Amino acid sequence: MLPPELPLFPLPDVVLFPDVCLPLHIFEQRYRDMLADALQGDRLIGMVLLKPGYEAEYEGHPPIYPIGCAGLVTHAERLPDGRSDIVLQGLQKFRVLDESRDRSYRRAVVEPIRESLPSGAAAALRDARHRLEALVAPIVERAGGEMKIPPSIPDAELVNALAQYLPLESVEKQALLERDGVIARCESLIELLEMKALLQRSCASSKFSH
């Protein structure tokens, strides 16, 4: 269960998903303050994505997407110059309801968003997982890697991990995070990868036809 308030860590290119680990480098003073307070408390940080055009207001309170994901600081290494390397473990989605500005960093009143698998939906998720893996394999191969996904990884964790780590635009990842549940997220990710594969084939065909 999330607390009613969370410190916010808004970034322009990072989206955190439940059950996924995220390494981060903390260097701005306001986020050093945020980390220090989190480590002295419940070790929770709310990751949110900055909306396009944030640059003009970056030092202040640029607009953010209202849906984020809380993460638990599972590892924190303070460096000699005061910066820190941390690892966040994604826990739960939340909606930002309000913000307070009484600290050097942003804090928000949040509403937890539960994601539970409906009864009898496990088979549908497993089928969607297989379709997703078939789409991801060529992407990994083109990048020079080899598809090695242990079957022991739970379906929901795999979907969230792929949503976070596949080479997608930040706004695409944000849209996936906002989907209502892991099955909807998996289906949307499949549609997105199918569309990208179709565009790639179309571009290749156009290139060779000239």
Q: Which of 11, 19, 5, 3 is nearest to 160 (CA)?
A: 19
**pLDDT reported for residue 177:** 98
Contacts of 136 (CB under 8 A, 6+ apart): 147, 162, 166, 193
pLDDT band at 57 (very low <50, low <70, confident <90, very high): confident
Would you give the DSSP letter of residue 53? T
The 3-state DSSP class for residue 111 equals: strand
pLDDT over 70 (residue 149): yes
The whole-model pTM stands at 0.89
End-to-end Cα distance, the chain: 58
Query: What fold characterizes domain 5-113?
Result: 2.30.130
Q: In this predicted model, what pLDDT tens digit does every residue of 185-195 receive, in sequence order?
A: 999 999 999 99
Query: What is the per-residue pLDDT for 154?
Result: 93
| Model confidence at 101: pLDDT above 90 | no
Query: Could you tell me where in the chain the CATH 2.30.130.40 domains are found?
Result: 5-113
Q: How far apart are CA 133 and CA 65, in angstroms?
A: 29
Confidence of residue 127 (pLDDT cuts 50, 70, 90): very high
In the beta sheet, which residues pair with residue 84? 26, 78
**Amino acid (one-letter) located at 45:** I
pLDDT at 207: 56
Residue 68 is predicted with a pLDDT of 98
Give me the pLDDT at residue 77, please. Answer: 96
The Cα–Cα gap between 86 and 83 comes to 10
The rounded distance, in Å, linking the Cα atoms of 2 and 10 is 18
Counting every residue, how long is the chain? 210
Query: Hey, what are 2's tokens?
Result: 């999330």
Q: What is the pLDDT of residue 204?
A: 58
The pLDDT mean for the chain works out to: 90
pLDDT digits (tens, 9 = 90+) for 61-97: 889 999 999 999 999 999 999 999 999 999 999 999 9
For 80, the token pair is 């000699």
